[in-house]
Amino acid sequence: MIEKEIQKLKNKKRAKACSRYFKTKKGEYGEGDVFLGVDVPSLRIISKKYFKEIPLKKVSELLKSNIHEYRFTALVILVEKYKVMKKKEIFSFYLKNIKGVNNWDLVDTSAPKIIGDFLQDKEKDILYDFAKSKDIWKRRIAIISTLSFISKNEFKDALKISKILLEDDNDLINKATGWVLREVGKKNKKALLDFLQKNKGKMKRTTLRYAIEKLKEKERKEWLKKGTVSIFLSFLVSMGVFGSSLFLLSEKAREERKEGAIVESIYMTGWTASSKSRTSDMLEIVKNTRINSVVIDIKDYSGYVFYKTNVPEVKAYGAEKIIIPNIEELIEKFHNEKAYVIARMVIFQDPVLARARPDIAIRRKFNPNVLWTDKSGLTWIDPSSKEAWEYNLKIAKDAFEKGFDEVNFDYIRFPSDGNLKDMDFPLWDGEKQKRAIIRDFAQYLRRGTMGKNLSVDLFGLVTVNSDDLGIGQVLEDFVPFFDYISPMVYPSHYAHGFRGYANPAEYPYEVVYYSMKRAKERIDALPYEKKAKLRPWLQDFNLGAVYDEQMVKSQIRAVYDALKEDFKGYMLWNPRNIYTRGAIKY
């Protein structure tokens, strides 16, 4: 029964991609693995649907299959059973069937939640035996299981097993060890720095890069040079281990925000960010109001990127427009004020890329030699273009390398205005659903930025409409792939008559409350283990009504009332970056 349900969802194109990604060729680590091409969220839904009724004998059969999705489903079922059955029984069953846990995603999905959790208060000799095994998957189980200990602020075994694996020749083990060390550092930076100092010169470069990923760029560069004792001591001072604790507090505040603390943000255009006086205005707001975050345009509707990147295509396409001379210095200024810094990118509305690559741009159907434009006269890229996907992903990765805490993606959609009947897509066949294309892109972004914080801007109506609005945006499709969903619930953007309001702009509390409550209900109904949090864009500009202090405040209150314990903040939008101070004062 469960195999038939999985088989119904197979996708040849995705299967082919998975086979490459999980290295299934002869001699590669995933040799012999067969993929059907079923996405992970669907497998998790199936697992949670059947886990109660499927006996362990059937789980064992699935784990013996060469079909990857069967084994993945079996392990998710096992994790669910572990929560409700005798833990020792599931632990023993896992070890008995461990041969079926033979790819990195299978290990990472199950080992911490079963092996790690069970051994939390017990002897951990088996992990040390696994760490010395010739079997790559046992070695990965050994190190990945310690994530469970780290979550409880217990680092001893994680560090000991990391040391055993430091000189491992397998890249998957190097990455896993670096990941574990990074997690230790997020909990206790001194513990990480002590480990690095004691083992400098012994670590594989991949392990080291993963381990130091959360340190500031200057620190990362020093550690990659293998460091010295004097450098190490200077790091301790900067981390607040002794001397001034200002940096430590700032880092701690940023980490808490990354873990889901409340973010109250304002938007900055690239031009505002390029101006010393305007940047000072924004810093002053951060210092003296409730605002603890800024969203900075790095690539806006023009298609230009506003700082020097390490992405060759940006320069090749003529997209480089350096108006922010030192992006890292700008980010550091806000970090010094304990602010969480978000990079905003406009994706498929991109005149620069369309001009440079007309072969992937939307053209006029009735005049194919001319690029199609929306009502604002702006050109668009075909959302199906994998080259456009890769281009934007590279820019996002570069933003993280520069020090941004999060990347916010806007215009992940098909066009919504202009002569839509005159559009001719060079790549989209018109058959595949728009929502499927947009969802695939969302998944692509997540796979390319694992461990990073991502947010996505959606039309406000996405919160209350079940269709894709003709642009490919359906709320549920984004939930598994982003950390935050930011619907633009500007009351002025809702049609006259919405919920019976002649002018919705005059009812900011009611419109925002209803939208956020509906969105929360829909997300709460989804079975995903990890779900995006809601953090909307709110209106701080005059359109449809005068938005004074009370109008802005009422929106913030509506978000809080609708989300309650799930309130994660909001982002204020004003295109001129002039904000209503009374609404955000302490």
The 3-state secondary structure of 45-68, one letter per residue: HHHHHHCCCCCHHHHHHHHCCCEH
Q: Side chain identity at 291, as an amino acid letter?
A: I
Q: Which residues pair with 364 in a beta bridge?
A: 367, 423
Contact assessment for residue 141 and residue 107, using Cβ atoms and an 8 Å cutoff? yes
Q: Are residues 518 and 484 in the same domain?
A: yes
Q: Which phi and psi angles does 487 have, rounded to 5°?
A: -70, 140
φ, ψ dihedrals at 23, nearest 5°: 50, 70
Buried/exposed 89-112: b ≥16 CB within 10 Å, e otherwise: ebbebbeebbebbbbbbbbbbbbb
Per-residue confidence (pLDDT) for residue 186, from 0 to 100:
93
**What pLDDT sits at residue 225?**
66
In a domain, 380, yes or no: no
Instruction: Give the number of other Cβ atoms within 10 Å of residue 12's Cβ.
Output: 10
Residue 21 located in a structural domain:
yes
Same domain for 538 and 451 = yes
361 DSSP β-pair partners: 381
70: left (phi over 0), alpha (psi -120 to 50) or beta: alpha
Average pLDDT across each block of 10 residues of the chain; the chain has 586 residues. List them in order.
Answer: 92 90 87 93 91 92 95 95 94 96 95 96 95 95 96 95 91 93 94 91 84 86 57 38 32 42 94 97 95 97 97 97 96 94 98 98 94 97 98 98 97 97 96 97 96 96 96 97 97 93 92 96 93 97 95 95 93 97 90
One-letter-per-residue 3-state SS of 305-317: ECCCCCCHHHHHC
Of 203, 223, 238, the last residue of a domain is 238
Structure tokens at 368: 């194919």
The phi and psi torsions of 44 (rounded to 5 degrees) equal -65, -40
Which domain covers residue 501, as residue numbers? 264-350+386-584
423 belongs to a structural domain:
yes
Q: Among the residues of 376-462, which ranges form H helices?
A: 386-402, 434-448
Please give the pLDDT value at position 1: 81
Phi, psi of 370 (to 5 degrees): -115, 135
Q: Are residues 549 and 402 in the same domain?
A: yes
Phi-psi region of 446 (alpha: psi -120 to 50; beta: other; left: phi over 0): alpha
Residues in the chain, overall count: 586
Provide the residue type at 298 as one letter.
I
Residue 116 lies in a domain: yes
Same domain, 419 and 475: yes
Both 206 and 268 in one domain: the answer is no
- pLDDT, residue 226, reads 52
Distance CA 162, CA 174 (A): 9
Single-letter amino acid code for the residue at 124: K
* Residue 377: inside a domain: no
User: Under a CB-based contact definition with an 8 Å cutoff, are residues 184 and 195 in contact?
Assistant: yes
What amino acid occupies position 456? V
**CA-CA distances (angstroms) from residue 219 to 182, 257, 317?**
14, 21, 33
Report helix, strand or coil for 352.
Answer: helix
Q: Degrees (nearest 5) of the Cα angle 233, 234, 239?
A: 95
Domain for residue 358, yes or no?
Answer: no
Does 208 share its domain with 295?
Answer: no
Same domain, 290 and 157: no
Q: How far is CA 488 from the centre of its chain?
A: 19
The reply to whether 381 falls in a domain is no
Residues 285 and 431 in one domain: yes
Number of domains the chain contains: 2
d(CA 516, CA 276): 36
Q: Residue 94 maps to which CATH number?
A: 1.25.10.90
Q: What are phi and psi of 514, to 5 degrees?
A: -60, -45
Q: Which among 484, 354, 483, 369 has a CA at the least distance from the CA of 415?
A: 354
Q: Are strands 533-534 and 484-488 parallel, antiparallel or unpaired?
A: parallel
**546 assigned to some structural domain:** yes
CA distances from 354 to 323, 360, 440 (A): 22, 7, 21
Q: In this structure, are 156 and 86 located in the same domain?
A: yes
pLDDT at 217: 81
Same domain, 172 and 284: no
Examine the domain organization and report whether 233 and 272 are in the same domain: no
CATH code for the domain in which residue 569 is found: 3.20.20.80
Residues 489 and 427 in one domain: yes
How many of the other CB atoms lie within 10 Å of CB of 174?
22
Helix axes 171-187, 189-199, angle to 10 degrees: 140
Find tokens 């809702």 and name the residue: 494
Q: How many CB atoms lie within 10 A of CB 377?
A: 8
